[in-house]
A and B are shown apart, each in its own frame.
Chain A
């Protein structure tokens, strides 16, 4: 009995303890639940602050994203040239770049992951809001990466497996698919950032994010213009990266064959970068118009207000792009038999470019101290102020595009001796079309000063159409004239001075800088809003940063990107180097190697324990 009682007492104690514990836990949970309110912002990031941390990581992630979206475009075009045009060297070029993609892809994903962690820890409320609106597309986004990764691995590792007949066509299809996945990822990510800029009109700060209609948030006012602009810009960036890689290899080359190969690769990359770049201003104009249409305040802040200084810096940088691109072509004339006959014209084209950059970079409101302001009698310079408005700038940029096109034309024509009977008339017609176009551009530029703003905007469309028509018409004529033309001699690939390669570095650095700079303009016009006029930035970093500070952050991002890119190039070069001379590559591919499958190089002869098909070690690697 005593024992029973003691057990009963123990049972009561145990029961009481369990009940007390459960009650305590419930109470604690209730208390915690009541006390814990998720903060709008996490603890500040050490040293540089939360805004700069998110800014730099997002920017470098975006640069890598442009790389891994731009280079596949380049690779699939190069592979198509090889597949349908029968030029094998383009196939090797495409493969060489896909190899770099593998490393760059990891860097992009890591930076993306870091970006998300920074957002969730530093800006939890904003992240919560965005994930509430976009949760479905966020899941899709992650899913796309599985598909993209699988396609990339099959595309690269199947290169030599599927190299003939239908299999090769299927392989090229994989390249296309890689671009499709990349583009879908781009469209999804663009919807998030454009939503922050231009949320649907029916949203108010009190609207619960759970009730926001997904599609209206996704396909918002600036989504499509950003998609178009970024797709074109990625192709440009891909070309510029390829050219820079080739320049790096050219400068490190130890044999003439290597130099010839990388000279040619740099030329192809530069052609794609500059060729596609010529249409980029039109896509930018479309984006600008849509931003203005969405919200006048945003538009004026961007073009005429605080951010307008960025456009002057942009004019400078784009001037550098034009000068560097043309410079590379002009030096290249020296390696083409017959190119010397066009050399005397380059100084006149340079004059047009220099005057164009001067006009484009002339600020409407000048940086002046009080004495200079007093001397000018106001904030505008009485003589130079007409150069500060869009009529002058549109005219300048269109003439610069025409001049760059002319450089390209001379380059094409350099080693050709036309044999068609109407060659002289055709060339004269090309000259007349170019001249008339220049006069049309000038006419509308001058007339723009004498008409209302709304008419003047229409004039810029006429200028653009005249230039596009001229480029197409003159190029078609040129192709017809070149049919059956005699060659003055083969292009002497590799016979380029080292300074020409620095022009390619200048191109890629300038493109990258521009991405950061104009990305800041686009993002900064939201001012003190996370989501424009819906979710306010109430953090210590709500103020729009000063231009000097922004320039430092952007430049730091560019430096970090290039340090990481140098690592990618270095790693890419470490794996193996491609056979540079087509004949040697074919021999290497055909030669049976002991201990390996046909077409494979020997194991153990290289550092990585096996070179890839069609690749062979070079002296000094």
Chain B
């Protein structure tokens, strides 16, 4: 057994197989054992991670002359040594079969749409037309964030959120509304550090006002069922909802001062 566990070829093979298993199934199911939510990893990311691991393994086996020589031994033996004829023949059968299987899997007809690149942060326009009035988004702050307006705005935003947004985005802002399971992809989760926490309030205002149909042409086709709330709510009402969202999520909106780049 030690002959195999200490040999670089078998060690490399073990690292690749174990890594693949961890990426393919470990990430999906192991966090659940300690109560952390996870899900199966998309095939594109499995391929990406496995390729990186494979490159790492090849670097390791070949960055040392002795290790590289030992790594090649079993491959060389399987290809030329007379007593390895069975292994050789088996490989000649198995390798084409694996290639054929992979090819079949790639070309067989399926009912699912192909995977698509999706931009989650569409670029906002510099200005928009809201009910016939031009609003410059760049540098724009929430006009209701004033000491004497904020409380009333919060109450208004809360009421509007429960009337209009909660069925999809959920009571807990976690995309867990009653209608949410009917959409694919599901509505955006508004909590956490990676959605509205990354955005200025004017960005959120624009997204609510213009909805899915108002997404920019670049980066399309989009896949959003968000209504155009400009048709139903006034500008102040949308600002009130924005204010409520940040308050409920317990996060501060991104500010304009010394603005930098983010993902």
Contact = CB atoms under 8 A, between A and B. Distances in A.
A374 B115 contact: no
Given A365-B119, A369-B114, A323 B56 contact: yes
Interface stretch (A150-158, A213-221, A385-393): A385-393
Given A343-B64, A527-B218, A378 B123 contact: no
Given A288-B261, A373-B185, A374-B184, A367 B254 contact: no
The prevalent SS among residues of A at the interface is helix
A385 B121 contact: no
Interface stretch (B44-52, B141-149, B151-159, B226-234): B44-52
B121 A370 contact: no
Among B31, B45, B260, residue most surrounded by chain A Cβ atoms (within 10 Å): B260
Contacts of B254: 452-454
Contacts of B52: 319, 354, 357-358, 361
Given A289-B260, A323-B55, A375-B40, A295 B118 contact: no
Contacts, number: 218
Contacts of B62: 327, 331, 499
Interface in B35-80: 36-45, 48-49, 52-53, 55-56, 59-60, 62-65, 68
A297 B42 contact: no
B228 to A, nearest CB: 20
Contacts of A327: 59, 62-63
Contacts of B137: 296
A452 B251 CA distance: 7
B40 A372 contact: yes
Contacts of B184: 370, 373-374
A372 B194 contact: no
Nearest to B65: A334
Nearest to A323: B59
A346 B259 CA distance: 40
Contacts of B118: 365, 367, 379
Interface in A344-363: 346-347, 350-351, 353-354, 357-358, 361-363
B165 to A, nearest CB: 16
Contacts of B133: none
Contacts of A393: 263
A372 B36 CA distance: 19
Given A323-B59, A376-B39, A385 B194 contact: yes
B218 A305 contact: yes
B27 A372 contact: no
B262 A390 contact: yes
Given A334-B64, A371-B112, A378-B189, A454 B255 contact: yes
A383 B44 contact: no
Interface in B189-237: 189, 192-194, 197-198, 216, 218-219
Interface in A160-219: none
A382 B60 CA distance: 32
Nearest to A288: B261
A299 B117 contact: no
Contacts of B218: 301, 305-306, 527, 544
A384 B263 contact: no
A251 B71 CA distance: 23
A77 B197 CA distance: 47
A292 interface: yes
Interface of B: 27, 31, 36-45, 48-49, 52-53, 55-56, 59-60, 62-65, 68, 112-126, 137-138, 175, 184-189, 192-194, 197-198, 216, 218-219, 251-252, 254-255, 257-263
16 contacts: A291-B261, A295-B138, A302-B261, A306-B123, A365-B120, A366-B45, A367-B115, A369-B114, A369-B115, A371-B112, A376-B42, A377-B186, A383-B31, A385-B192, A389-B262, A390-B263
